[in-house]
Amino acid sequence: MEEQIRQLKEMIDCSTKIVFFGGAGVSTESGIPDFRSKDGLYNQHDIQFDQYRPEYLLSHSCLVDKPEVYFEFHRQKMDTRNIKPNRAHEYLAKLEQKGKLIGVVTQNIDGLHQKAGSKKVFEIHGSALRNYCMNCGKKYDRDYIFDSKEAIPTCSCGGCIRPDITLYEEGLPEDQVQGALKALSEADMLIIGGTSLTVYPAASFINYFRGERLAVINESEIGIKAAENTLIIKRKIGEVFDALDQMG
């Protein structure tokens, strides 16, 4: 571990255009359950939702066909407003402030990178902290759906207000994808963290990286075959970044 941290620090020290690509594992240390692990969202048994597959509860079909179920699930499981960023988010924000990091590409919808102070964040699955009307496009603030007393939050135009997240059966937000791919193609170092790279198309993004230094920090095996000189650290990402931070 010590030696790997030292290697990672050396890689970071000689890079000036770092991109971080992260998944659910970045947020689990803040107490947000991921989807697939033992304590993840897919394995929580909840009488109210047990009759539905978790993928269905996060799908466009559910939003359209059973909106009252969709919004109840969203209010109960996606409200991250009081959750704080952790050491991983904080370290990445510092790297950006030092002018070494050109972008964070995240599959998470919790807004924790921005809470930690990161500015260049590409949210390729959107954010649960933004809402908009599906009919007229009017934007609604962070609290609107979570605090709404209506089972199905409704816009003044009569349309349904939904969170700005990418559901199953929906395409990724084009502007975020373009920004992410541009940053990845310009990066001299890529750090992949807290993701097993099994969710497509997000996982295919890393093919846009053309730099020399690639590091992967994830507790479990990843779904890609990494090049020989890839630094792979099988640890919690917060632990690794904390150790780096202490090295100055």
Distances (CA, A) of 172 to 6, 35, 135, 180, 210: 36, 18, 19, 12, 23
- 247 lies in the binding site for Zn ion (CB under 5 A): no
Among 174, 117, 164, 158, which residue's Cα sits nearest to residue 142? Answer: 164
CB atoms within 10 A of CB 139: 11
Count of Cβ atoms closer than 10 Å to residue 210 Cβ: 11
Q: Is 125 a known active-site residue?
A: yes
Choice between 4 and 154, CB closer to Zn ion: 154
Q: Out of 136, 150, 151, 204, name the contact with Zn ion by CB under 5 A.
A: 136
Cβ nearer to Zn ion, comparing 161 with 240: 161
134 binds Zn ion (CB under 5 A): no
Q: Write down the least CB distance from residue 124 to Zn ion, Å.
A: 25
Cβ atoms 105, 122 nearer than 8 A: yes
CB 152 → Zn ion: shortest distance, Å? 13
Closest contact distance (angstroms) between CB of 158 and Zn ion is: 7
Task: Closer to Zn ion by CB, 52 or 132: give it.
Answer: 132
Query: Contact between 6 and Zn ion (CB under 5 A)?
Result: no
> Nearest distance from residue 131's CB to Zn ion, in Å?
11
| 135 part of the interface to Zn ion, by CB under 5 A | yes
3-state secondary structure of 76: helix
| 155, 167, 184, 191: which one binds Zn ion (CB under 5 A) | 155
Rounded-to-integer distance, Cα 109 and Cα 21, Å:
14
Residues 110 and 79 sit within 8 Å (Cβ to Cβ): no
Helix (H, G, I), strand (E, B) or coil at 84: coil
Stretch that binds Zn ion, among 42-50, 155-163, 187-195, 200-208 (CB under 5 A): 155-163
Rounded Cα distance between 65 and 16, Å, is 48
Considering the rule CB under 5 A, would residue 139 count as an interface residue with Zn ion? no
Examine residue 26 and tell whether it contacts Zn ion (CB under 5 A): no
Binding segment for Zn ion (CB under 5 A), chosen from 46-54, 110-118, 143-151, 153-161, is: 153-161
121: contact with Zn ion by CB under 5 A: no
- Reading phi first (left if > 0) and then psi (alpha if -120 to 50, else beta), residue 61 is in alpha
Tell me the catalytic residues.
125
Q: Give contact residues for Zn ion (rule: CB under 5 A).
A: 133, 135-136, 138, 155, 157, 159
